[in-house]
Structure 1
């Protein structure tokens, strides 16, 4: 199939997509849309950046349009759950662009924003509600929204929702939605906990899969610096940022405190920088992302709250200042660069106590990341060798620093 009309979408939807610049479906859209239009439950295995939102959003919009009855007050016909505020807002923005010119109503509710304002937005009924699980339950407790009218339920980035501790919230919500519904679960990875969740939530699901788990974008060149301590990491980071004055960089750390401290240090020594993490208000996070998108700042320091679902074109460098505890998080972090066919560089700093984390990452990706400086610790070399890392000549020089 080569176009959206052949996937079963209406002429109006296809015309809207064409106006938005969508001409050819991505692989997950081509696989998912026809099956969802048939009403099947679905497990979708896909990384961010593969066109997932349109893959699940377009068929839901088509099906809602065929039943134009307005939702009752304080109800929603569709519920989409996602793990972070940023991802919720991004999904809602995409869906709003698909329904432009129609009476369909889309709302987003997240923590860190005014719950009273959100309550008012939900009063008149909603066709599609995009939410973080915690804020949704807060609004249900206030009787601002009920889930008895939900016909379509989507769990997006399910593995991250479990990592962030949302499993109990998801199970509570599952008891509030009708048994007669269409359910879609999208996840970048399929650990046992996700398979168990899928078996509880879905009925006879079809499975679609694109980009195998653990595979980084082909155009990301990866390097690792072996360091002794934090000061070495900071010095190497400063050096690399200075050597790439026109680049745009995302720097990932494990903790909110560490991210804020590094951001203030970089700002103090003259870099245009902002930070984004769980202690920031929704407004602060949105302003930081906008400044980064608009090139007002060139360094965004973040925790893994920003590792998924945020599509910022033109990120040239991703720095893993701290290696993540979960190897899949590394794949999502470096996926913020090399988007839309561009090249990108991922640079990791590995302290002695992070050697195990590096080994786990390399095992997942089946590569040995190129050493840019320092000595790889004894026993840290991967038995499979470095053939899987497609670095090109001269790239290591750019990775140093």
Structure 2
């Protein structure tokens, strides 16, 4: 279950968890019910406890232990919550359990009131000597003559289709013992008629903002009776440009009683969003950045170029300990190309990115969950919402654009307390992104090498590089790299970069030759105003000194 629970019963883990396969409602463990006394202490309804026991979970996670009682609140009073917790810590169940509990209690109260009303009418009819009225028959919601716009009591917003489908699947697993409680999933890329039929009599709707507003504007859905609003992955919502859609949904659900917002961090933009849509929210922060993913081993491999990265990936994917793995690419083109290369190399691999149709994306995710596919090559569309227990490795072939996306990527492994391995491949030009990731996670990478596949260039130093001319001023050892200076190894002696001092055998583009000493022991300048050049002023190796054509006419001013 996506971000749901921590500990299963002490049983051997199958190759893939049947609880993740849609349409399969069988328990994921044997017939012996799990001890759910810890969940019962949270005050959850009996149908939810039975579902948790069927799934084989025994202990709530830290975020569930804190958020569930606060979200349930007291009778008639609910608290707005702003929750920050790491990926894989059980955030999904932290908001599904209290929302479903409240819906169950509301449904029981409505049924009791309806039963009392029928008994009152029957007693009045008997007192008048008439026949007691019969219970009205339930109308078929799929019949167009009985169509009625859906009026859900709870709404969960997710940034991506895959995450919304996973959350809806988890909710269905939790309500399988609740009679009459319906869950609907509304995402783009799926037929409207099918989703409209599923919306009928839905109590909880899990949706992406775009399709939800489309159905609301076409009068297929009403949001004025939504009592509980949950915004999952709020930071990703803002990244994808859903700020205006969130504002519209906030206005349409103005009569709600509770708002819960879940995000990876309490960034200033998340706090500003919370101030607009929440009323005095209570904060729950479980993990600080340096405490994240302690059960995931993170390693870094430096590569000279893309071909070197490809060789390193091929070496890792042949590890027999890999059950299933996700390889993250930076672009859709890179994703398709890498998946095709892996298929040609004999790997069971498929690509997943936003340009594919929703039906194809669903089929490939289902194949991954059922173990028919070993390697999923994906863009950041799969960085959230995929929960497959058999994923043991995550490979960052292409680095994420934002440092916080790195934590969501590696969170696809090591789910619910299991161990995982995250491997990152980076070229030397990507060192700034690596530093950003280290700064965000507050965890330095452990760089490793594979014997026989070491990079030819020296990995960048952990210290901050000095700008300007970084070479030596005399015959002493080099002081450090400058902007564009040699990167290390034998290239330090052979080649220079833009603006570097040359003390070796060959000059580079824009290099400045070190003047040879004159017979008197004083160095002669490389050139004079009349254009004269001395023999000793020429660069070693016979190269020419690059002089801009407008060097004498260029005004003296600070460069941009």
TM-score (norm 2): 0.65
CA contact (8 A) 1:214 1:328 kept: no
CA contact (8 A) 1:216 1:335 kept: no
Cα offsets for 1:177-219 (capped at 9, x unmatched): 1244210001111211111111111111111122224644212
Offset at 1:313? Answer: 0.8
Cα offsets for 1:360-385 (capped at 9, x unmatched): 011122232111233565454489xx
Instruction: Give yes or no for the alignment of 1:17 onto 2:93.
Output: no
Which residue of structure 1 lines up, in the alignment, with residue 198 of structure 2? 121
Which residue of structure 1 lines up, in the alignment, with residue 155 of structure 2? 79
Return the match for 2:330 from 243, 248, 254.
Answer: 254
CA contact (8 A) 2:293 2:411 kept: yes
CA contact (8 A) 2:80 2:282 kept: yes
CA contact (8 A) 1:319 1:348 kept: yes
SS in 1 for 2:261: strand
Q: What stretches of structure 1 move > 6 A for 4+ residues in a row? A: none
Cα offsets for 1:3-43 (capped at 9, x unmatched): 12221223333233222223221111111111111111100
CA contact (8 A) 1:276 1:303 kept: yes
Structure 1 segment 305-384 matched on structure 2, within 5 A: 305-373=381-449, 374=455, 377-381=459-463
Taking a change above 3 Å as real, the CA distance of residues 112 and 245 of structure 1, as seen in their structure-2 partners, is same
Which residue of structure 1 lines up, in the alignment, with residue 104 of structure 2? 65
Offset at 1:116? Answer: 2.4
Return the match for 1:238 from 314, 324, 329.
Answer: 314
Instruction: Give yes or no for the alignment of 1:164 onto 2:199.
Output: no
In 2, Cα distance between equivalents of 1:361 and 1:231: 23
Please identify the structure whose Cα radius of gyration is greater: 2
In 2, Cα distance between equivalents of 1:138 and 1:181: 24
Cα offsets for 1:291-350 (capped at 9, x unmatched): 222222211101111112311112222111111121111111111122244332211111
SS in 2 for 1:224: strand
Offset at 1:253? Answer: 1.2
SS in 2 for 1:94: helix
Return the match for 1:270 from 346, 353, 366.
Answer: 346
Which residue of structure 1 lines up, in the alignment, with residue 254 of structure 2? 178
Taking a change above 3 Å as real, the CA distance of residues 210 and 326 of structure 1, as seen in their structure-2 partners, is same
Which residue of structure 1 lines up, in the alignment, with residue 284 of structure 2? 208
SS in 1 for 2:272: helix
Offset at 1:284? Answer: 1.4
Which residue of structure 2 lines up, in the alignment, with residue 108 of structure 1? 185
TM-score (norm 1): 0.89
CA contact (8 A) 1:226 1:376 kept: no
Taking a change above 3 Å as real, the CA distance of residues 20 and 147 of structure 1, as seen in their structure-2 partners, is same
In 1, Cα distance between equivalents of 2:301 and 2:269: 34
Offset at 1:289? Answer: 1.7
Which residue of structure 2 lines up, in the alignment, with residue 27 of structure 1? 62
In 2, Cα distance between equivalents of 1:180 and 1:315: 38
Higher relative contact order (CA 8 A, sep 6+): 1
Taking a change above 3 Å as real, the CA distance of residues 46 and 246 of structure 1, as seen in their structure-2 partners, is closer
Instruction: Give yes or no for the alignment of 1:53 onto 2:129.
Output: no
RMSD: 2.2
Which residue of structure 1 lines up, in the alignment, with residue 80 of structure 2? 41
Cα offsets for 1:52-75 (capped at 9, x unmatched): 222111111121122224997322
In 2, Cα distance between equivalents of 1:167 and 1:215: 30
CA contact (8 A) 2:389 2:415 kept: yes
